[in-house]
Amino acid sequence: MDASGYRTIGVARDGRVLTLTMNRPEALNAIDAVMHEELSRVFTDAARDPDSDVVVLTGAGRAFSAGGDIAWMQDAIDDPASFERTAVEGKQIVFSLLDCEKPVVAKVNGAAIGLGATMALFADVIFAAEDAKIADPHIRVGLVAGDGGAVIWPQLIGYARAKEYLMTGDSLTAAEAARIGLINHAVPAAELDQRVDDFTRRLVAGPRQAIRWTKTAVNIGLKQLAHGIMDVGLSYELITNSSADHQEAVSAFRDKRRPVFTGR
């Protein structure tokens, strides 16, 4: 895998384990246009990499990913046509995660918000620092959670719980997320690296074909759901991208005040 094509994602190897690190720590790994485009192809590149059998996804610094970058959101408001590219990339992110035959392990070292949470939850096994926050607060910026949250949250915790979290944008700690089945393991932060290392070594030592094709078989249902939901979800997200409430939320974030929504 050629790491030179990535400006915002670090690529590192440890034996047959390939670690991808979202690397905008000064912005809590918030996803801007550059990172979004890179995320749309990095899992395909990782899947084709001949020198790895397991992929780890994590974030640099204090966060896994704080979700969408606010300046990028304003750019999408100012140029709605750019959302077409964003929608295509959004589907590529989710489907490349699902199509990658190699196990993908999410190492959630800190907050996983919005698309950050979506990517973590679409991973095959999720380890998180027990005090890490997980949330999909699209609604809090006046957007529909069209980039995958509406697909994956109900499959992990059921429709009632998923709708509560998606319609409020409320966060939960990794410890609570593990308790309700949203993630696999919540561990003390000091133990996170070791727990992930132990698990990935176990996968590397296992029967490679059986592991890969078990993932492939399990993901068939998820891919069918994603194909049925994501175009509609992204279309609704595009509509809300042009709403007054979304602009109000972006402006309020910049002004460091609470948004006042009007339903328009």
Q: What is the pLDDT of residue 169?
A: 98
Q: Which pLDDT does position 188 carry in this prediction?
A: 98
d(CA 114, CA 131): 17
How confident is the model at residue 136, as a pLDDT? 98
Helix count and strand count (H, E) for the chain: 10, 9
**Best CA proximity match to 83, nearest among 75, 71, 95:** 75
Series of mean pLDDT values for 10-residue runs along the chain (264 residues): 94 98 98 98 98 98 97 94 94 98 98 98 98 97 96 98 98 98 98 98 98 98 97 96 96 96 96
Q: 98, 158, 149: which is closest to 123 by C-alpha?
A: 98
The whole-number pLDDT of residue 1 equals 86
Pair 20, 46: CB distance under 8 Å: yes
Tokens of 221: 């249902």
CATH 3.90.226.10 fits domain 3-191: yes
